[in-house]
Amino acid sequence: MIRIWGLTRKKTKELLEELVEMGDVQVEKDDKSHDMKYHLTRASVSFWLGPEGVKAIPAGIVQAVEITRRAKPSEV
């Protein structure tokens, strides 16, 4: 995993749009919250995450995401 320093919101949006255009990422809009949700396509998981796929994601990241998902908006 690499950390990209100085990545702005605009650049993040541009990168996501490019990945959507390439077909590596799918995007859907949540009708309730109006948030955009981005998902890797099944075909691109092995390229972006390696041959182990999601199993290679460190447990700490998975736990942090799970805690954030379960937290109420007022707690975040």
2-54: pLDDT as tens digits: 566 677 888 888 888 898 998 888 989 888 888 888 888 878 877 777 777 77
pLDDT at residue number 36: 85
Where do the structural domains in the chain lie, given as residue ranges? 9-70
pLDDT score at 60: 75
39 Cβ neighbours under 8 A, 6+ residues apart:
25, 26, 27, 28
Measured distance CA(39)–CA(25) in Å, rounded: 5
